[in-house]
Structure 1
Amino acid sequence: MSTISDTSRYWQQWADNVLEGQQLPDAIALEILHSDNESLLPLLQAAYTIRRRFFGRGVWLHVIRSAKSGLCPEDCSYCSQSASASSDITTYPLETVASIVEGAREAQSRQAIRYCIVTSGRMPVEHDLEVICDAVSQIKATMPLQICTSLGMLDAAKVKRLKEAGVDRYNHNLETSAAHYGNICSTHSYEDRLRTARMVKDAGMELCSGGLLGMGESLQDRVELASSLRELDTDSVPLNFLHPRQGTQLENLQPMAAPDALRALAMFRFMLPSKELRIAGGRELILGPLQALGLYPANSIFTKGYLTTDGQGFEEDKRMIESAGFHIAEIVDA
């Protein structure tokens, strides 16, 4: 690839191959991640042709509700809510049904299509499950929002109860490759995560599963994560970028460079062409003024904030989306 025009043709040919039904080889996915900054805009343009085919220029908004914070017994090295972390965060028990439902009304007012109820912890206890199911039932009876929950690991009975309550989608991120997972968590295994993800799919619920990039993994690990998600047939892929938090085991890691994050988004779009690809935690920190470029491969974002960090806010997200020539997608487009 000696010139920009050669580079453009090369990436566009692979985009065309993907749109014709060819599965992107892992070797080409790795080539995307190794590509230089000179190739970045042609790469994003090629990724955009895939995104446009399946999602047009719409951007789906999701709002997270951190319904229970901190006090988690797991030792995930990236997480400020972990038992192994000394981060200065607000901790609180599970919110009430009324608070969770009110959060859904706020999400609807911000043009969200999906409301994501998240709790810390290894697995939901009976009381927590009852509250979540009650809140979801009330939301589904009164609002057009789609509901995603992220409550940790599940068994088949808990999956069934969530589905019967009206949960549309369950989030359980793989986070990284199987090979790298042991470096970031020891209190549960990669296979534990896969088990919950497979139960969700087997029950007929949508699966939201993605990863957290920038945890010291190799580029090959990133490709293997995308390949594992493709094998799972995940419906939605949130990509988080590590925001090194003081008090966590990864607090001294250097944040990812924006071009590397954009290349990763493009690679995941090539690998998972028809799946919802969401720019999640770390978007503002890592992409900064280049956030709008992330919308060329990705078709959704979290707005309003994340679990323990604030975002730039709905109004600023709305301006960013519209000034880049995209639009906020309606619930009927989801």
Structure 2
Amino acid sequence: MTVSPSIASASRWHEMAGRVLNGEQLSREEGLAILQAPDNELLNLLAAAYEIRQRHFGNQVQLYYLKNAKSGLCPEDCGYCSQSKVSDAAIDKYVFLNEEKLIAGAKQAAESQARTYCIVASGRGPTNREVTHVANVVRKIKDEYGLHICCCLGLLKPEQALELKEAGVDRINHNLNTSRSHYDDICSTHTYQDRIDTLKVSRDAGLELCSGLIIGMGESPEDLVDVACELRELKVESLPVNFLNSIDGTPLEDQHDLDPRFCLKALCLIRMINPATEIRVAGGREINLRSMQAMSLYPANSMFVSDYLTTSGQTKEEDFAMVEDLGFEIVLMGHEHQEEATAN
């Protein structure tokens, strides 16, 4: 009896998913095979990644709401970033938002059914005064809305990480962005190891880790496998997967290497290498996944709702509809805090 190619493909990826669910780690060669899978195997690959996602997260989707607390004015030269010193992008530039505006952002997060509120600031790293400002605001947000809080403030010192933890910050975001070998092609003002060190400082302070990558910056398939494996070794709790949005005025403005099918294969790779990690489909999903956005939630179990740092996403109503159309459900914060957010 001859086995059809589609059945053989389904069996191959299903067998791989089964080994992952039994606790086996994929090899680098298997990771590369996922990225290099023919397009006609994509649906079977997504089904295999969904087996893993469903085991650990069911059909739940966690929403994140992001607030750009300090925009532009950054001394770093990250080639992808519209806020860097080498960017001519037309963006708003402002110093750290005051307490009123940050708390208003938390209210918007709650109204958007987000479980986590992300406070993000441009720059190499925060001053002690900025850390204390964030800590004071976080205490009030926790009391009023009960949101999970993730802060992305750049390179952190041990005492700064401890102050944030004591204030109630749950998680620190500091993305690796790409592999160690590719990092110097993206940024020269700080190193890959600087990023690793901040993650270690945050872990030592008792904070959860949120760290991910940007796909589409000229990296090789081997680079993607390497950074996925590095994030596995770091045991990050949350892993945002960004797809390069080539912004005019940045050094990478002419970089357009992605198609939706490759983006989905990359998400499958990251799910299979990080099976129990919350994986978030993040910046650039609307532009790069286009009509195939919803399929990203078969490997991923989290996404940002509404806008990003300096670019717009689709509306929250479109995000809600996408989750509902899949038959999935949004993970909500505590009902008592949700009722407060609606009443205020």
Identify the TM-score tier after normalising by the shorter chain.
over 0.9
Compared CA separation, residues 72 and 315, structure 1 to 2 (3 A): same
Q: Residues 138-153 of structure 1: matches in 2 within 5 Å?
A: 138-153=140-155
Instruction: Report Cα offsets for 1:120-146 as digits up to 9, x if no partner.
Output: 000101221121111101011122210
Report the residue type matching 1:120 in the other structure: S
Contact map agreement 1:170 1:208 (CA 8 A) in 2: yes
Report the residue type matching 2:93 in the other structure: T
Contact map agreement 1:58 1:326 (CA 8 A) in 2: yes
Offset at residue 255 of structure 1 (A): 4.3
Residue 45 of structure 1 corresponds to which residue in structure 2?
47
Contact map agreement 2:199 2:209 (CA 8 A) in 1: yes
Offset at residue 2 of structure 1 (A): 6.5
**TM (normalized to structure 1)?**
0.98
Q: Aligned partners of 1:52 and 1:325: how far apart in 2?
A: 13
Matching of residue 328 in structure 1 with residue 341 in structure 2: no
Q: Aligned partners of 2:222 and 2:293: how far apart in 1?
A: 24
Residue 136 of structure 2 corresponds to which residue in structure 1?
134
More deviation in 293-302 or 118-127?
118-127
Q: Aligned partners of 1:321 and 1:247: how far apart in 2?
A: 34
Give the secondary structure class of the aligned counterpart of 1:67. strand
Contact map agreement 1:242 1:282 (CA 8 A) in 2: yes
Residue 239 of structure 2 corresponds to which residue in structure 1?
237
Offset at residue 199 of structure 1 (A): 1.3
Give 5+ residue unaligned stretches, structure 2.
Answer: 336-344
Contact map agreement 2:146 2:334 (CA 8 A) in 1: no
Offset at residue 332 of structure 1 (A): 6.2
Q: Aligned partners of 1:317 and 1:8: how far apart in 2?
A: 30
Residue 17 of structure 2 corresponds to which residue in structure 1?
15
Give the secondary structure class of the aligned counterpart of 1:65. strand
1:107 to 106, 109, 127: 109
Report the residue type matching 1:133 in the other structure: A
Residue 65 of structure 1 corresponds to which residue in structure 2?
67
Residue 259 of structure 1 corresponds to which residue in structure 2?
261
Report the residue type matching 1:144 in the other structure: G
Q: Aligned partners of 1:33 and 1:53: how far apart in 2?
A: 22
Q: Residues 150-299 of structure 1: matches in 2 within 5 Å?
A: 150-299=152-301
More deviation in 204-213 or 137-146?
137-146
**TM (normalized to structure 2)?**
0.95
Contact map agreement 1:69 1:90 (CA 8 A) in 2: yes
Instruction: Report Cα offsets for 1:191-235 as digits up to 9, x if no partner.
Output: 000000111112221000000010000000000000110111111
Report the residue type matching 2:244 in the other structure: L
2:319 to 302, 317, 320: 317
Contact map agreement 1:244 1:255 (CA 8 A) in 2: no
Give 5+ residue unaligned stretches, structure 1.
Answer: none
Identity of aligned residues (%): 46
Contact map agreement 1:170 1:205 (CA 8 A) in 2: yes
Give the secondary structure class of the aligned counterpart of 1:95. coil
Count residues with an aligned counterpart: 333
Residue 26 of structure 2 corresponds to which residue in structure 1?
24
Offset at residue 275 of structure 1 (A): 0.3
